[in-house]
Chains A and B, each alone.
Chain A
Amino acid sequence: MAEILINVQAYAKLTLHAAKYPHCAVNGVLLAEDSKSKDRKTIRFVDCIPLFHLSLSLAPMLESALLQIDAYCKSKGLIIGGYYQANEHYEDNELNNIAKSVGKKIQDCFPDACVFMIENNKVSVESQSEVYKTYVYKDPNWVKYDQRTVEEEAISITNSLLQGGVHRELIDFDSHLDDVSNDWRNLTVNENIKRFI
């Protein structure tokens, strides 16, 4: 099984997304470096694009988002390799049908795809561990990947970003569709993250 690593930028943005909409289910994708080698030992996730906080189970906007992000990825040598989801209910951390079907769709294009199910009670300014459980696909199921995926630094930087209220500036695809001048690349948030590194 390949090693999975998530950098600060990707980790921070997915956590900020969950924190921005505590009363909604949220989801998004993670972008990995696209190595042409078929036998990769490490999958590095380097960015995160937050997608939706309204109606996660509906297809058309998800499809159009994935098509846009795919075009973006090709120009940057990246690939959509991961999917994260936080369920609406505080205690519901289940890898549900929506996560499974979107995860499978991504896995069809990227065999080492991962699904990250956020554990709502771990999203906090005093977080000590990664906020999600990682799953990889082993036909026909998604199974847990137990190793750590982020550095300590990523968690402490994310805690600081939450304290500073940076999550309020985060743009997801839903906000983009409301007003297309909202940039789902979140360049300002990326700058904020870089300041801590």
Chain B
Amino acid sequence: METLNYACVITIENLVHFRRELLLSTMSNTRWEDARDQLRKIREEQIRDGLLVVQLWEDTLCDHIHKLGDEMWVVQEQVAIAALDCSRLDIADECREKLNANFPHSNRVKRLEGMVHEAAGEYEEALKLYSEILKDDPTYTLARKRQIAIYKGQNNIEKAIEMLNDYLKTFMTDFDAWMELCDLYLCKQEYSKACFCMEELIMSNPQNHLFHQKYAEIKYTQGGIENMESARAYFGQAAKLNPNSMRAHLGLLLSSIALSKKDPNNSKYAAWAAQQITDKYQTQETKEQIKETKVLESIQNMLAMLTSGN
């Protein structure tokens, strides 16, 4: 199981403590098979909800772990990582020890041990473990990513960017890494470099509407006529690939309005986008919501910017 979140442990240090007994009372009535299925769904969809996973484990699944067969090991790993997200180092250690007992020389378990150190703020110990893993297996990308995550965890974004660029020279088809690099550049407001990352992603995955949409958003943020025209084109493509995307249609509307002074044809694109957005709101929101949130009025206000010359 690959954890895509590099920053898995950075902000979790006891951010919020919860009294277990007050949470979601339905947990105690969950059957172990349902808990197992929920954990599967969370793994498949790569949802990050540490609290839910830990609850499912503590309240239901931990007493039935022997019924899972080989799946037990993946679940232990998943629970350990989720426990790190909730500052439950006790659970994380418990799972890690069981995994270690069964897979004593495993780099995958060693990486988990590194993550437990990271959660405790013991970055030097973690880095040592990851170096050992990479000495043994230089292609173990998860350990390399954890090294980068440590720098991100220390808020050393420049170093994280440097190492991630290095990583991508070797592993240039790692799309999650390109996405992470894009987000790191956005943190630093280095929009051109963020665009470059999105361009790599679009070239490798031209059918993914999310890549077109994010690229368009960065272009829009950069501003200027040329960037706005790119933004409009990519929002249009995103809307074509996913007609249900509200973000793509809103982006198309706003970028067309921004360009309408230069080229009046844009008012047609804006009007089309506004109609798509209105239709979506009317079919998906309740009448009360539409009326009270004044969403249709706000769309009319946006279109009024066309005639007023912005």
Which residues of A approach B to under 8 Å, CB–CB? Answer: 19, 22-23, 55, 57-61, 63-64, 67-68, 70-72, 74-75, 88-92, 97-98, 120-121, 123-126, 162-165, 177-181, 183-185
8 more contacts with CB within 8 A, not counting A58-B218, A126-B17, A183-B293, are A22-B11, A68-B298, A71-B295, A72-B292, A88-B7, A90-B10, A179-B284, A181-B289
B246, CB-defined interface residue at 8 Å: yes
> Do residues A59 and B217 form an inter-chain contact, with CB atoms below 8 A?
yes
* Residues on A with beta carbons closer than 8 Å to the beta carbon of B217: 55, 58-61
> Do residues A165 and B24 form an inter-chain contact, with CB atoms below 8 A?
yes
> Do residues A88 and B10 form an inter-chain contact, with CB atoms below 8 A?
yes
> Do residues B294 and A71 form an inter-chain contact, with CB atoms below 8 A?
yes
B74, CB-defined interface residue at 8 Å: no
Interface residues of B in 53-82 (CB under 8 A from A): none
Chain B residues with a Cβ closer than 8 Å to the other chain, count: 53
> Do residues A67 and B19 form an inter-chain contact, with CB atoms below 8 A?
no
> Do residues A60 and B250 form an inter-chain contact, with CB atoms below 8 A?
yes
What's the Cα separation between A59 and B228 when bound, in Å? 12
Which residues of B approach A to under 8 Å, CB–CB? Answer: 5, 7-8, 10-19, 22-24, 48, 85, 153, 155, 183, 186-187, 189, 214, 216-218, 220-221, 223, 231, 246-247, 250-251, 253-255, 280-281, 284-286, 289, 292-295, 297-298, 301-302
* Residues on B with beta carbons closer than 8 Å to the beta carbon of A179: 284
> Do residues A72 and B294 form an inter-chain contact, with CB atoms below 8 A?
yes
Q: Determine which of A19, A55, A58, A60 lies in contact with B16 in the assembled complex, contact meaning CB atoms within 8 Å.
A: A19
> Do residues A60 and B254 form an inter-chain contact, with CB atoms below 8 A?
yes
* Residues on B with beta carbons closer than 8 Å to the beta carbon of A120: 11, 15
> Do residues B15 and A123 form an inter-chain contact, with CB atoms below 8 A?
yes
What's the Cα separation between A181 and B255 when bound, in Å? 25
> Do residues B284 and A181 form an inter-chain contact, with CB atoms below 8 A?
yes
* Residues on B with beta carbons closer than 8 Å to the beta carbon of A70: 298, 301
* Residues on B with beta carbons closer than 8 Å to the beta carbon of A19: 15-16
What's the Cα separation between A165 and B22 when bound, in Å? 8
> Do residues A55 and B183 form an inter-chain contact, with CB atoms below 8 A?
yes
